[in-house]
Structure 1
């Protein structure tokens, strides 16, 4: 029997969309020391994600009050200090999927962090639904809520509106996929009855994700789209999700113009004004009516210096 087309893709954040192993451990290490949780090595921290991370933290605490304090302190540090980089290549994959599917993010992290990461990387409107750990700490319950809500069928397609053109595609269990880097998430998703794709660059290995039940584990971000969309993955994103093509060099952007731009960048670095814009070569009209550019003046100055040398 053929697999039904994918209607909804739910992404984990940490270790899936963003590189998290170092950034997240540096945050939790402070919590472990402050609350004496006994997690002294990154590998011990990664093991907490074999199940629900908040339940794992609770098992390290003296009682519920201690666990609540540790959880809130952890989320507060994440809100204020956690700024992980996006996984290279994942932005294009998200935009490609957003053209065809409803996208959501489901994370143990705080909503404030999700907003900062997605807005900073210009991906906020690719996702129609977001479940943060401070409002939906149990991913099994969050997945069930997503499937039960008729509004979950509305997507964003990389624009602010929610499928006002009537593109709603109600997701069901067989057409909904979780993309994650942890074995605990794999088990939660399978318990909720949805499909799971793992990624090899996060918390847990290919072998661990496969053993937990992932139907496929991507070694590169591009494999996610290829696995979920098949041949359709080769088609470029449509509409607002389209990836802007690089602007070709114009006739005025000749070698001298590139030299001048590089020199301006070096001057900016020396003076500390690294954000100073570098303008394109300006064109002017000579007294004789000939159209030229300031590049001509630059080349003339270079020739004078060379002759003097």
Structure 2
């Protein structure tokens, strides 16, 4: 079992949101207009077996048609693509926030990612977003994330970023490839993660099956969203070995290892304190909501400015408690 990840990269389509029917409805008119021969949803889904944009360009034949089709598809996604969130993943994402930097790596456009995250009030839970219009090659996107992730800054579902301490040990060398997990529903993404030298965890509710994802190199496939928390944040040995050992990570020097350990301890303590405050705020809001069960009392109390309005969206207490137990 590996140690809890310091950074988690989510794929969007099919992982965070339910995408199969929504994406096919957007693509189908484009296929008909250009007579690409991708006439069924199943044929469209096969494009995700490897890098989607590469598969789409090969299906188009000549480069000129590929450029036009890609541009039309991206524009159609911006205008018409509106998938729903996978049930349960809102709570899973917010439960991960105190313990890992979060990012989104998607073939979709940045505008679509922004719209979906804002609609689900998750936009400030992610520190980085790489859309297909920013970086269409996910292997390169992962490399860019790794190059920038060593700053150690994440987000706590608030607009500002964590500010690292002034300690020299808190800057650089903190996040290595084996500390990063890509969560995805496609074989192509798993292959990109393996190629980049990071861990890959699959989800069974998207494009590809559990068997396909495992065969491609995923170390685990979640059947339910809550399994991601149990698998990634359960107690683990300090050394990460076995199925999650990466293929391309060079062994660090003793000085780098010591700096990494020091940086991890500083970051871990900072996030533990933040998580405790987060839990206290959630508990206080629950008490407030319970005490103001009568609508008339709630209205009168707010009118007198004695209490804030009840919180309508907060982390599931059971998920928060489960995560808390893993951090002791």
The TM-score with structure 2 as length reference comes to 0.72
- Work out the CA distance in 2 between the residues paired with 1:251 and 1:219: 36
- 8 Å contact kept, 2:3–2:233: no
- The farther-off stretch of 26-35 and 15-24 is 26-35
- 8 Å contact kept, 1:96–1:237: no
- 8 Å contact kept, 2:3–2:235: no
Is it true that 1:173 corresponds to 2:177 in the alignment?
yes
Report the counterpart of residue 191 of structure 2 in structure 1: 187
Report the CA distance between 1:164 and its aligned residue.
1.7
- The farther-off stretch of 169-178 and 24-33 is 169-178
Report the CA distance between 1:42 and its aligned residue.
1.1
Deviations 1:239-262 (A, max 9, x none): 458766482274635xxx9xxxxx
Matches within 5 A, 1:156-305: 156-164=155-163, 166=165, 170-230=174-234, 238-239=276-277, 245=286, 247-248=289-290, 250=292, 252-253=294-295
Report the counterpart of residue 27 of structure 1 in structure 2: 26
Report the counterpart of residue 11 of structure 1 in structure 2: 10
Give unmatched runs, 5+ long, in structure 1: 258-278, 284-309
Matches within 5 A, 1:55-74: 55-74=54-73
Greater relative contact order structure (CA < 8 Å, 6+ sep): 2
Deviations 1:74-102 (A, max 9, x none): 01000111111111100111011111100
Report the counterpart of residue 91 of structure 1 in structure 2: 90
Is it true that 1:49 corresponds to 2:48 in the alignment?
yes
Report the counterpart of residue 75 of structure 1 in structure 2: 74
- Work out the CA distance in 2 between the residues paired with 1:152 and 1:80: 35
- Seen in structure 2, the aligned counterparts of structure 1 residues 198 and 245 have a Cα distance that, compared at 3 Å, is farther
The TM-score with structure 1 as length reference comes to 0.76
Report the counterpart of residue 144 of structure 1 in structure 2: 143
- Number of corresponding residues: 256
Report the counterpart of residue 261 of structure 2 in structure 1: none
Report the CA distance between 1:149 and its aligned residue.
2.1
- Work out the CA distance in 2 between the residues paired with 1:155 and 1:200: 27
Indicate the SS of the match to 1:153: coil
- 8 Å contact kept, 1:155–1:168: no
Higher gyration radius (CA) = 1
Q: CA RMSD in A?
A: 2.6
Report the CA distance between 1:138 and its aligned residue.
0.3
